[in-house]
Amino acid sequence: MPTLTTKHQEKHFQSSDLVRDIIIGVADGLTVPFALAAGLSGAAVASNLVTTAGLAEIAAGSIAMGLGGYLAGVTDVQHYGTELKREYDEIEAFPEKEKEEVKEILTAYGLSPASSLLVVDELSGNKDKWVNFMMRFELGLEEPDKSQAARSALTIGISYIVGGMIPLSPYFFTQNSEQGLLVSVSVTVVALFLFGALKSRVMQQPVLAGALKVVMIGILAAAAAFGIAKLVS
């Protein structure tokens, strides 16, 4: 009879750029407008002022967060390009020194001196592979996607808007900011819990602990804004 073998599947989570950007946008979108609305409610302003200020904050926040994601992506590309050029220059100017660095890296991974020498000889015959090895194993850098900056900006910005509308939306349908705050707290706490649980599940972390942590951060931010508004007003 043929022997049945079970294929081994590794369950390592590879956090994609898309998931990371959604988490960043929604997390801030839920928390910052929630705190702003709570603070304005603590000052007992009218609901229409809360919604106006909230929409303005969501617009400004989504642009700022999106721009931050874009600049981070551009910086990664520029940094990689700078280090790539430096590595090419170094193997041209100091090939023996660079070979020694390769040997040190391979030795740290447990290769014998003889095996390391063979690998060094193979790598040094191809400058592109040699530089790629140094970028990965000496500097710990992977070549970034040049189009990722624009995608990150769009994803973070949209996610911020989606997250921000959750705590703000109750104020559109309530007569005053106090009522709006009560509904907003209820809706946002549920949203924070679900978001925290989903994020923790995706990241393969304890779901309940992660959800409660996100809820506590949101509540503390809103409570601080509400308390300060009460004291000042």
With respect to residue 215, please indicate whether it lies within any of the assigned structural domains: yes
Highest mean pLDDT of the ranges 34-38, 106-110, 226-230: 34-38
Q: In whole numbers, what is the pLDDT of the chain averaged over residues?
A: 86
Give the number of domains in the chain. 1
Reply yes or no on whether the pLDDT at 14 is more than 50. Answer: no
AA identity, residue 47: S
Helix boundaries (H) for the chain: 17-42, 47-93, 95-108, 113-124, 127-137, 148-168, 177-202, 207-232
With respect to residue 214, please indicate whether it lies within any of the assigned structural domains: yes
Rounded distance, CA 130 to CA 122, Å?
A: 9
Q: What is the pLDDT of residue 15?
A: 52
With respect to residue 29, please indicate whether it lies within any of the assigned structural domains: yes
Domain that holds residue 188: 17-69+157-232
Instruction: Summarize the confidence of residues 179-184 as an average pLDDT.
Output: 90
AA identity, residue 192: L
With respect to residue 133, please indicate whether it lies within any of the assigned structural domains: no
Reply yes or no on whether the pLDDT at 74 is more than 50. Answer: yes
> Predicted confidence band at 171 (pLDDT cuts at 50, 70, 90)?
very high
pTM of the full structure:
0.80
Reply yes or no on whether the pLDDT at 77 is more than 70. Answer: yes
Q: What is the pLDDT of residue 5?
A: 47
Q: What is the pLDDT of residue 93?
A: 85
With respect to residue 80, please indicate whether it lies within any of the assigned structural domains: no
With respect to residue 91, please indicate whether it lies within any of the assigned structural domains: no
With respect to residue 101, please indicate whether it lies within any of the assigned structural domains: no
Neighbours of 37 (CB within 10 A): 30
With respect to residue 8, please indicate whether it lies within any of the assigned structural domains: no
Taking a C-beta distance cutoff of 8 angstroms, is the pair 54, 33 a contact? yes
Taking a C-beta distance cutoff of 8 angstroms, is the pair 165, 58 a contact? yes
Q: Which residue has the higher pLDDT, 67 or 17?
A: 67
Q: Which residue has the higher pLDDT, 124 or 178?
A: 178
